[in-house]
Amino acid sequence: MSLYAVVDNTGDLDPLPGVTLVSAKSYLADAKYAHLHGARVLNLCRSHRYQSIGYYVSLLAEARGHKPLPRITTMQDMKSQSIMRLASEECKAGIDRCLGTLRGEKLAFNIYFGHTPEPGRERLAASVFQLFYSPFLRAVFHQNGEWRLQNVSPLGVQDIPGAELAFARDALAEFADGHRPPPRKRAPAHYHLAILHNPDEAMPPSNAKSLRRFIKAAEDVSIAAECITREDSERLTEYDGLFIRETTDVNHHTYRLASRAQAEGLVVIDDPQSILRCSNKVYLAENLRRHAVRTPKTLVLHQGNLDQATSAFSFPFVLKQPDSSFSQGVVKVAGAAEYKAQAKRLLRRSELIIAQEFLPTPFDWRIGVLDRRPLFACKYFMARKHWQIINNDSGAKDALGRVEAVPLEAAPKNVVKIAVRAAGFIGDGLYGVDLKVAGRKAHVIEINDNPNIDADAEDAVLKGALYARVMDVFLRRMQDRKRCARSGA
């Protein structure tokens, strides 16, 4: 993939190895740039305001199938105060660490491809760059009781202070050098796959042993797979696919990286739409209701209709935060007083919550679904002396219920059928559908993107075949993308 640096005037930046300098007007008007294939465009123009030259550089780059940095969506994010508030929360730990002891009302510094010449602020600069993926940035922080990120704006080449020009040029050279994929030991690999994980995560969706098995399965189909972390996000363009094996959430870097990877044309599992849809139980409840998928009786509650739950359900019943996961944000209420207190607590975090009929069972079924087909079946047993599979109130070793993998053909047919059908209303990614069987009827409890696949647990029946099936889907989708790119579709 060729790298182009688009500037207002080519004289504003000295030539760099591996980077083709192009004036903005030439890039927009010269037909030879319109027909480039596989171009990576660094938009270094001074202004990115709506309908400016810089705005059109990124807009037309996207229309031409090039890969601009920044994208139009990133430009819009920089203008959004709500996005800025979320970004400030995301960077809070780094802000406190770098700026917490400083006095003053305002502080600003420049960021060049995730680096800054300001001593002690490198990690904070990298965090801001990951959130607002743009070559040159100016970050402004404001203190009103505590330091917060107030504004991020693109920095044109002409606006770089003279004392920082050499630093900015070195950062660009480093990016250009890192942009070229390093030589791979395992050749020939037809495709490259990034597996996003967090080595410090307490309960990751895949343990270290299963990650090694994914990598081995990828090698067997000529995919060079390697594990990356969020710090490697600027390397996404090196890959043909992104496999997320870190717990996902919408207000989280996993969602942003999935969105960026999808925009770059990578095969992404799980894709941002699946993360968005599965992360919110209000959406899931409405989606399943609309498609007549059997669930426990469910109500969406807000401050104005809390009385409906006590008339609709018998105690005990379950309350859920819309974004609850790992059994957190899920409570069972046994009486009116407890219901009122817990509903009030949950509504402080979200204007809508879920009430759901309580179906006591010794275990939940988990059906793994990939590409609209069943992948694996497991029984997730309740934690000891608890009503959920995870007892978050217990620090004991038995806080987790045991997992028992079951051959798909041994799982109840109606359980597998309804799981595949329900997952199909989310998408064609990788999902874990949780169900309870009451009598002979299967009820969908929830659908999870990014489900657990742990060595010696979910893979206990299929062994290596489970990992091979996942990589077969990646391979087929990468091949389809390549064919579409060649045909111009």
- Mean pLDDT comparison of 9-18, 21-30, 83-92, 322-331, highest-scoring range: 21-30
Q: Report the candidate in 441, 446, 301, 338 with the shortest Cα–Cα distance to residue 388.
A: 446
Q: Is the pLDDT of residue 67 over 90?
A: no
From 357, 385, 405, the end of a domain falls on 357
Q: Assign 369 a pLDDT band (cuts: 50, 70, 90).
A: very high
| Residue 338: per-residue pLDDT | 94
CATH of residue 36's domain is 3.40.250
Claim to verify: residue 116 and residue 145 sit in the same structural domain: yes
Q: Are residues 41 and 26 in the same domain?
A: yes
327 assigned to some structural domain = yes
Q: Phi/psi class of residue 161: alpha, beta or left (left: φ > 0; alpha: ψ in -120 to 50)? A: beta
pLDDT digits (tens, 9 = 90+) for 16-66: 888 999 999 999 988 898 888 878 899 999 888 888 889 999 988 888 888
Calculate what percentage of the chain has a pLDDT beyond 90: 59
Do 67 and 80 sit in the same domain of this protein?
Answer: no
What CATH code is carried by the domain that includes residue 336? 3.30.1490.20
Decide if pLDDT at 135 tops 60.
Answer: yes
At residue 210, what is the residue type?
S
Q: What's the number of domains the chain is made of?
A: 4
Indicate whether 409 belongs to any domain: yes
* pLDDT at 180 > cutoff 60: no
Does 64 share its domain with 79? no
55 plus 156 within the same structural domain: no
Residue 427 near residue 271, CB atoms below 8 Å: yes
373 & 425 share domain: yes
> pLDDT band for position 190 (50/70/90)?
confident
Asked if residue 230 is part of any domain, the answer here is no
Confidence of residue 185 (pLDDT cuts 50, 70, 90): very low
The residues, ordered by sequence, that sit 6+ positions from 337 with a Cβ below 8 Å of its Cβ are: none
* pLDDT greater than 60 at residue 245: yes
Q: Is the pLDDT of residue 183 over 80?
A: no
**Could you tell me if residue 111 is inside a domain?**
yes
Residue 173 lies in a domain: no
**Closest residue by Cα to residue 323 from 255, 263, 369, 381:** 255
Instruction: Give residue 182's pLDDT.
Output: 43
Q: What is the pLDDT of residue 86?
A: 83
Average pLDDT value for residue range 217-239:
89
Q: How far apart, in Å, are the Cα atoms of 134 and each of 34, 91, 150, 181? A: 22, 17, 17, 20
Q: Is the distance from CB of 44 to CB of 70 less than 8 angstroms?
A: no
Closest by CA to 99, choosing from 34, 69, 144, 165, is: 144
Last residue of a domain, one of 129, 162, 195: 162
Whether residue 116 is contained in a domain is answered as yes
Residue with tokens 């410090």: 200
Return the minimum-mean-pLDDT range out of 135-139, 188-192, 305-309, 412-416. Answer: 188-192
Contacts of residue 212, Cβ cutoff 8 Å, sequence gap at least 6:
none
pLDDT of residue 187 exceeding 70, the answer is no
**270 within some domain:** no
Q: Which of 74, 96, 121 is the last residue of a domain?
A: 74
Per-residue pLDDT tens digits for 334-362: 999 999 999 999 998 888 888 999 999 99
- With 50 as the cut, is the pLDDT of residue 186 above it? no
Is residue 486 over pLDDT 60?
A: yes
Q: Is residue 16 part of a domain?
A: yes
Burial 269-304 (b: 16+ CB within 10 A, else e): bbbbbbbbbbbbbbebbebbeeeebebbebbbbeee
Domain around 458:
361-473
**210 contacts 459 by C-beta, under 8 angstroms:** yes
Residues 347 and 368 in one domain: no
How does the average pLDDT of the chain come out, rounded? 89
Same domain, residue pair 413 and 432: yes
